[in-house]
Amino acid sequence: MIFEQHYLDCLSQASYLIGDERTGRAVVVDPRRDISPYLDSAAEHGLTIELVLETHFHADFLSGHLELASATGAEIAYGEGAVTEFESRSLADGERISLGDVTLEIRHTPGHTPESISLVVFEHADDDVPYGVLTGDTMFIGDVGRPDLLSSKGVTADDLAEQLFESLHQQLLTLPDATRVFPAHGAGSSCGKNLSTDTSSTIGEQRSGNYALQPMSKADFVAAVTEGQTAPPAYFAYDAALNRENRALLDEAAEPAALTVDEIVQLQRTGTVVLDARDPVEFSRGHLIGSVNIGMAGRYAEFAGGVIQPGARIVLVADEGMAREAKNRLARIGFDNVVGHLANVEQALTEHPGDVAVGSRVDVTAMCDARDSVEGLQIVDVRQPGETEAGIIDGAILLPLTQLNARLADLDASKPTVVYCAGGYRSSIAASRLVAAGFTDVSDLLGGYGAWVAAHEPTPA
Query: Mean pLDDT over all residues of the chain?
Result: 94
Residue 406 forms part of a structural domain = yes
The predicted pLDDT at position 238 comes to: 93
- Are 382 and 295 members of one domain? no
pLDDT attached to residue 150: 67
> pLDDT value at position 152?
47
Where in the sequence is the domain holding 113, given as residue range(s)?
2-240
Question: Which of 90-94, 137-141, 196-200 bottoms out in mean pLDDT, i.e. has the lowest?
Answer: 196-200
User: Out of 231-240, 271-280, 435-444, which region has the weakest mean confidence (pLDDT)?
Assistant: 231-240
- Residue 427 confidence (pLDDT): 95
Whether 78 and 165 map to the same domain: the answer is yes
pTM of the model: 0.91
**CATH number of the domain bearing residue 83:** 3.60.15.10
Question: Which residues are registered as beta bridge partners of 16?
Answer: 5, 29
Residue 461 is assigned to a structural domain of this protein: no
Q: Is 188 among the domain residues? A: yes
- In this predicted structure, what is the pLDDT of residue 193? 63
pLDDT digits (tens, 9 = 90+) for 408-428: 999 999 999 999 999 989 999
pLDDT tens per residue across span 341-352:
999 999 999 999
Residues of the chain with pLDDT > 90: what percent? 85
Residues 139 and 120 in one domain: yes
Query: Domain with 366 in it: what CATH number?
Result: 3.40.250.10
Q: Verify that 434 and 365 share a domain, yes or no.
A: yes
Residue 246 domain-assigned? no
Is residue 245, in this structure, part of any structural domain at all?
no
- 179 and 300 fall within a common domain: no
Least confident of 13-22, 194-203, 389-398: 194-203
Residues 162 and 51 in one domain: yes
427 and 278, same structural domain?
Answer: no
33 or 191, which is more confident: 33
List pLDDT tens digits, range 72-122. Answer: 999 999 999 999 999 999 999 999 999 999 999 999 999 999 999 999 999
| Count of domains forming the chain | 3
Q: Is residue 352 part of a domain?
A: yes
Domain annotation covers residue 185: yes
Task: Give domain status of residue 200, yes or no.
Answer: yes
From 449, 293, 405, select the one nearest 359 (Cα to Cα).
293
90 and 214 share one domain: yes
Mean pLDDT of 3-10: 95
* pLDDT for the residue numbered 191: 67
